[in-house]
Structure 1
Amino acid sequence: MRRSASVTSVSWIPSEAISGLMKIPFSLGVGQYDDPPPAELGDLAAWRDADRFRFANRLEAWIEVDDRGQVTAHGYAGGGLMGSTTVRVGPRSITFAAIAYPDLQREPERGDGCVRFEQTVGGRTGAPMPRAVNRPPFLQLIAPTVWTTLQLTLHADGRAAWQLAGASPFPRHWVYDEGGALVAKSGLTDFSRWSQECFGDHSPWGDVASPAVVTLAETALERTLSAAIMRGGAKPRVRTLAPGEELVRQGDPAGPVFLLLDGVLDVLVDDVLVAEVGPGAVGGERALLEGGRRTATLRARTPARVAEASGDQVDLHALRRLAEGHRREERRGHQPVG
């Protein structure tokens, strides 16, 4: 009997993710940020042709299982898909094809009734990216390397488990399960470290395989609110938090609603860690709607960026729906955010 499964990562450039001098071309419209991909995985080739992502990694694998439940054969399928980069100057535009590196498919690791597969996909844009770097030769013209490393474990009884085992610090990486549902994402993007370090041998094709900070995907309602906050009328205030810095403290008076743009926040109640949240999480709505106080302390576990929006910048009906969803989570024993 053949058993198979898949997992896919899609990588894209979120708004406000680029820092330093390299942000200027994006602010002028020469470069472009990406809209968040849909929550359901579509046709990757069509997404690439529509310039919806920078690159994608689709790991597919299979095993053959005999009547005794023993794995008798196994193999890979799938692979990488690189997007392109379009540079716009006035009415003109130039599109640079990406340079794909060879897909790295590790020799499958056999265990007791299971096989683990690992695949790394990536490359770099063909567009030049001149910049100073912190090691010889101290100047680079070609763009840094991007990648994701996915793992997929297939069990003889039909179970499958996936993991985002590693990724470049930039851009954002989203993970979709076999059914095409968005299930996780990289929790932290670090443009500065990526541009400074990820060239030459500093990649999985050389001597570096950077681990990824992974968080669960936010809800569909949070994605809708995120778009409203970032692309609505007034531009939200964006705060930067250092690791250990508090965004809000339990018991504080109500304040703005917040959207976590990047990083991971710890959620503490009575100074006890009860949860963590990653990019896309929206919180603080209950204190705003009810005029109460913050129900939890939110503390940055990693460097973080947070957008803040007042009540007149968001859809209050959507906030009420989000608050009700958080109440249901609380009744099930999960802590709401802020």
Structure 2
Amino acid sequence: MPTTRIDATVTSLSWIPSAAVTGLTKAAFETGFTHYDPPPPDVVDDLEHLRSDDRFRYANMLSGWAEIEDGRVVRAGYAGSSGVLMGSTTVRIGRLGARFAAVALPELRREPEYLPDGSVRLVQTCGGRTALPAPRAVPHPPFVKLQSPLVWTTLALILRPDGTSTVELPGASAFPRHWVYDAEGALTLKSGLTDYSAWAAHSFGARTPWGEEDSPALTVAVESAFERMLSRLLMTGEQRPRIRTLDADEMLTLQGEAGDELYLLLDGVLRVEVDGRRLAEVGPGAVLGERAVLEGGRRTSTLSAVTPVRVAVAPGSAIDRDRLAELADSHRREDVVA
């Protein structure tokens, strides 16, 4: 009986966007003592190059293989290249700068799970902590911690007998942002919510995968490359947006109300509803509100917070109408049933 072998590699990158840090720690970023990270690329083909450019804090690279006989996976495992790739933290005081490498923790790998449809599921957890101290009070013994909290992602790779693969993000730390790339190196999933305060308070000891528990990851679909370009324009243009926060279940817009502002979702998940019907849930990076700007100043949908959210609010004139029209044509959410 002939045996066929398939291989695939999936990756997550953990990075710190400007909207994710809250509280007193934000001052260290705003004063230049340390830095935020620019968004990683849409396609990853050279992790070492990204690491040398200080583009991410941690990478979880899961490489798996499977052998197939008679239409089923009969053997599978993790490739030697699987593991964590640690980034670094750059600290600056005046003109002086120093780079501190992060500290990796041992990789956690489950035994291959052979599924009823003949596929196999491989699961790997990778993470670590920054080398810099982070003194803080915490609500668990010993009630004061000096080491920084742990960052991690848990990736799952499903290998199928037909040679295809799927990546999942079943678990991750609440901070920072985590982006997931498929076997082709393309961005395919994002963590939908960051919670810096909860991460700092709880992500050590038993409350981590190296203790007794993982944290479920809320993932969202990836927005278009065009939306990512517009989001950069909104955040760096002459008309800088104001930041608005909403609690879960709060409403951002109401269908039919007047409005001419644009919204860039920085963190969290929003529900899109039209005529009381749920059409979609969107996550960080989504640009919203363009149809009201283009079509008479009335909101065409109701946007409500599924989780706590942070939104950048910009005037409709922050982006020219031709680009807004292209955005409206590319993702008319009212015409798509989610």
TM-score, with structure 2 as normaliser: 0.95
1:73 aligns with 2:75: yes
1:25-67 C-alpha deviation (Å, 9 max, x unpaired):
111111110000111113011101110001111111111112x
- 1:152 to 2:157 alignment: yes
Deviations 1:218-254 (A, max 9, x none): 1011100111111222321110000000000000112
Q: Please say if residues 170 and 194 of structure 1, whose CA atoms lie closer than 8 Å, have aligned partners that are also in contact.
A: yes
- Secondary structure of the residue aligned to 2:205 is coil
Q: Which residue type is aligned with residue 24 of structure 2? A: L
Give the corresponding residue for 1:246: 251
Structure 2 residue matching 1:23: 3-state secondary structure: helix
Instruction: Answer yes or no: is 1:111 the counterpart of 2:115.
Output: yes
| Distance (whole Å) between structure 1 residues aligned to residue 334 and residue 261 of structure 2 | 21
Residue 269 of structure 1 pairs with residue 271 of structure 2: no
Q: CA deviation at 1:212?
A: 0.3
Q: CA deviation at 1:84?
A: 0.6
Report the equivalent of 1:94: 98
Partner of 2:48: 45
- What's the counterpart of residue 179 of structure 1? 184
Conservation of the 8 A alpha-carbon contact between 1:84 and 1:97? yes
Separation in 2, partners of 1:195, 1:16: 16
- Per the alignment, residue 295 of structure 2 pairs with 290
Flag structure 2 segments of 5+ consecutive residues without an equivalent.
none
> SS of the counterpart of 1:312?
helix
Return the TM-score normalized by structure 1: 0.95
Q: Is 1:309 equivalent to 2:314 in the alignment?
A: yes
Q: For residues 315 and 130 of structure 1, what CA distance do their matches in structure 2 show?
A: 46
8 Å CA contact 2:157, 2:168 repeated in 1: yes
How large is the Cα RMSD of the aligned pairs? 1.4
The 2-side partners of 1:2 and 1:227 are apart by 42
Q: What code does the residue aligned with 1:105 have?
A: R
**Helix, strand or coil: the match of 1:164?**
strand
Contact 1:221 1:318 in 2 (8 A): no
Question: In structure 1, what is the equivalent of residue 131 of structure 2?
Answer: 126
Is the CA contact (8 Å cut-off) linking 2:274 and 2:334 kept in structure 1? no
Please give the per-residue CA displacement for 1:278-312, whole angstroms capped at 9, x wherever unaligned: 00000101111222311110000000000011123
User: d(CA) in 1 for partners of 2:163 and 2:53?
Assistant: 35
Q: 1:103-127 deviations in whole A, cap 9, x for unaligned?
A: 1111111223121100001000001
SS in 2 for 1:306: strand
Deviations 1:53-107 (A, max 9, x none): 01111111111112x2243321112221010111111011121110000111111
1:254–1:291: 8 Å Cα contact kept in structure 2?
no
Please, which of 51, 70, 87 is the counterpart of residue 83 of structure 1? Answer: 87
**3-state DSSP class of the match of 1:230?**
helix
CA contact (8 A) 2:260 2:297 kept: no
| Structure 2 letter corresponding to 1:43 | D
- Paired position in structure 1 for 2:17: 14
Unaligned runs of 5+ in 1: none
Counterpart of 1:222 in structure 2: which amino acid? E
| Cross-structure match for 2:34 | 31
The whole-number CA distance in structure 1 between the counterparts of 2:104 and 2:14 is: 14
Aligned mate of 2:5, from 2, 6, 15:
2
Q: Residues of 2 paired with 1:191 and 1:217: CA distance?
A: 22
Tell me how far 1:334 sits from its aligned partner. 4.3
Residue 141 of structure 1 and its aligned partner are, at CA, apart by: 1.1
Aligned residue type for 2:54: D
